[in-house]
Amino acid sequence: MSTLKIIVKKEDVENYEYYLWNRFIECLINEEFGDDLSQIQQVAKRCFWYDAEMNNGGHSGYFDCYADENIDKVEKSLISIGAEEYAKNFKIAIEIGENDDYINADDKFGELTPVLTDIIEKYVMDNINEFFIIE
Protein backbone atom coordinates (compact mmCIF):
# COMPACT_ATOMS: atom_id res chain seq x y z
CA MET A 1 0.00 0.00 0.00
CA SER A 2 1.51 3.28 -1.13
CA THR A 3 0.06 6.65 -0.19
CA LEU A 4 0.22 9.58 -2.51
CA LYS A 5 2.47 12.46 -1.58
CA ILE A 6 2.46 15.76 -3.43
CA ILE A 7 5.71 17.06 -4.89
CA VAL A 8 6.39 20.71 -4.07
CA LYS A 9 9.28 23.01 -4.90
CA LYS A 10 11.68 23.85 -2.09
CA GLU A 11 11.81 27.41 -3.42
CA ASP A 12 8.05 27.82 -2.93
CA VAL A 13 8.24 26.40 0.59
CA GLU A 14 11.04 28.79 1.50
CA ASN A 15 9.50 31.87 -0.11
CA TYR A 16 5.92 31.60 1.10
CA GLU A 17 5.28 31.19 4.82
CA TYR A 18 1.97 29.35 4.51
CA TYR A 19 2.69 27.55 1.25
CA LEU A 20 2.57 24.01 2.66
CA TRP A 21 -0.54 24.64 4.74
CA ASN A 22 -2.34 26.24 1.80
CA ARG A 23 -1.21 23.43 -0.47
CA PHE A 24 -2.47 20.88 2.06
CA ILE A 25 -5.92 22.50 2.02
CA GLU A 26 -5.92 22.70 -1.77
CA CYS A 27 -4.99 19.02 -2.01
CA LEU A 28 -7.83 18.01 0.32
CA ILE A 29 -10.38 20.08 -1.55
CA ASN A 30 -9.23 18.74 -4.92
CA GLU A 31 -8.81 15.20 -3.54
CA GLU A 32 -5.21 15.12 -4.77
CA PHE A 33 -4.08 12.80 -1.99
CA GLY A 34 -6.31 10.10 -3.42
CA ASP A 35 -8.24 7.47 -1.49
CA ASP A 36 -5.33 5.39 -0.23
CA LEU A 37 -4.44 7.56 2.76
CA SER A 38 -1.96 6.75 5.51
CA GLN A 39 -3.25 6.83 9.08
CA ILE A 40 -1.68 10.27 9.60
CA GLN A 41 -3.30 11.60 6.42
CA GLN A 42 -6.68 10.16 7.44
CA VAL A 43 -6.48 11.85 10.84
CA ALA A 44 -5.62 15.22 9.30
CA LYS A 45 -8.38 14.89 6.71
CA ARG A 46 -11.05 14.00 9.30
CA CYS A 47 -10.04 16.87 11.57
CA PHE A 48 -9.81 19.36 8.71
CA TRP A 49 -13.30 18.63 7.39
CA TYR A 50 -14.77 18.71 10.90
CA ASP A 51 -13.15 22.10 11.52
CA ALA A 52 -14.17 23.44 8.11
CA GLU A 53 -17.80 22.45 8.61
CA MET A 54 -17.84 23.81 12.14
CA ASN A 55 -16.69 27.15 10.78
CA ASN A 56 -19.46 27.10 8.18
CA GLY A 57 -22.49 25.28 9.57
CA GLY A 58 -21.76 24.12 13.08
CA HIS A 59 -22.43 20.63 14.36
CA SER A 60 -25.79 20.30 12.63
CA GLY A 61 -24.13 21.13 9.31
CA TYR A 62 -21.30 18.71 10.02
CA PHE A 63 -23.65 15.85 10.90
CA ASP A 64 -25.78 16.61 7.82
CA CYS A 65 -22.78 16.60 5.46
CA TYR A 66 -20.88 13.77 7.13
CA ALA A 67 -23.71 11.49 8.26
CA ASP A 68 -21.75 8.44 7.11
CA GLU A 69 -18.52 9.43 8.90
CA ASN A 70 -17.40 7.11 11.68
CA ILE A 71 -17.85 9.36 14.74
CA ASP A 72 -15.51 7.26 16.88
CA LYS A 73 -12.74 7.81 14.33
CA VAL A 74 -13.39 11.56 14.32
CA GLU A 75 -13.21 11.69 18.11
CA LYS A 76 -10.02 9.60 18.16
CA SER A 77 -8.53 11.74 15.40
CA LEU A 78 -9.14 14.90 17.41
CA ILE A 79 -7.49 13.32 20.43
CA SER A 80 -4.51 12.11 18.39
CA ILE A 81 -3.70 15.63 17.15
CA GLY A 82 -3.83 17.04 20.68
CA ALA A 83 -7.33 18.52 20.48
CA GLU A 84 -8.75 16.74 23.53
CA GLU A 85 -11.15 19.55 24.48
CA TYR A 86 -12.55 19.56 20.95
CA ALA A 87 -12.99 15.79 21.17
CA LYS A 88 -14.90 16.16 24.45
CA ASN A 89 -17.11 18.83 22.91
CA PHE A 90 -17.67 16.66 19.83
CA LYS A 91 -18.79 13.80 22.06
CA ILE A 92 -21.18 16.10 23.93
CA ALA A 93 -22.62 17.27 20.59
CA ILE A 94 -23.22 13.65 19.62
CA GLU A 95 -24.78 12.68 22.94
CA ILE A 96 -27.01 15.67 23.74
CA GLY A 97 -26.51 18.29 21.04
CA GLU A 98 -29.84 17.71 19.36
CA ASN A 99 -31.60 18.75 22.58
CA ASP A 100 -30.75 22.40 21.91
CA ASP A 101 -30.00 22.27 18.16
CA TYR A 102 -26.28 22.08 19.01
CA ILE A 103 -26.23 25.67 20.32
CA ASN A 104 -24.18 24.89 23.45
CA ALA A 105 -21.73 22.62 21.62
CA ASP A 106 -21.32 25.17 18.81
CA ASP A 107 -20.75 27.97 21.30
CA LYS A 108 -18.21 25.87 23.20
CA PHE A 109 -16.38 25.09 19.95
CA GLY A 110 -16.02 28.82 19.32
CA GLU A 111 -14.68 29.45 22.82
CA LEU A 112 -11.97 26.78 22.82
CA THR A 113 -8.35 27.82 22.39
CA PRO A 114 -6.15 27.42 20.58
CA VAL A 115 -8.43 27.32 17.57
CA LEU A 116 -8.72 23.90 15.98
CA THR A 117 -7.28 25.14 12.69
CA ASP A 118 -4.00 25.95 14.46
CA ILE A 119 -3.86 22.53 16.10
CA ILE A 120 -4.46 20.82 12.75
CA GLU A 121 -1.86 22.98 11.03
CA LYS A 122 0.74 22.05 13.67
CA TYR A 123 -0.12 18.36 13.24
CA VAL A 124 0.28 18.60 9.47
CA MET A 125 3.57 20.52 9.75
CA ASP A 126 4.88 18.04 12.36
CA ASN A 127 4.12 15.23 9.87
CA ILE A 128 4.90 17.11 6.66
CA ASN A 129 6.73 14.16 5.10
CA GLU A 130 3.47 12.21 5.13
CA PHE A 131 1.93 14.76 2.77
CA PHE A 132 4.68 16.27 0.64
CA ILE A 133 7.97 15.57 -1.06
CA ILE A 134 9.99 18.78 -1.08
CA GLU A 135 12.37 18.99 -4.05
Listed by start position, the domains of the chain span 35-129
SS3 132: strand
Contact in structure between 8 and 133 (CB atoms under 8 Å): yes
* pLDDT greater than 60 at residue 43: yes
pLDDT, average across residues 29-45 = 88
SS3 53: helix
pTM of the model: 0.93
19 contacts: CB under 8 Å, gap ≥ 6: 8, 12, 13
Residue pLDDT, tens place only, 65-114? 999 999 999 999 999 999 999 999 999 999 999 999 999 999 999 999 99
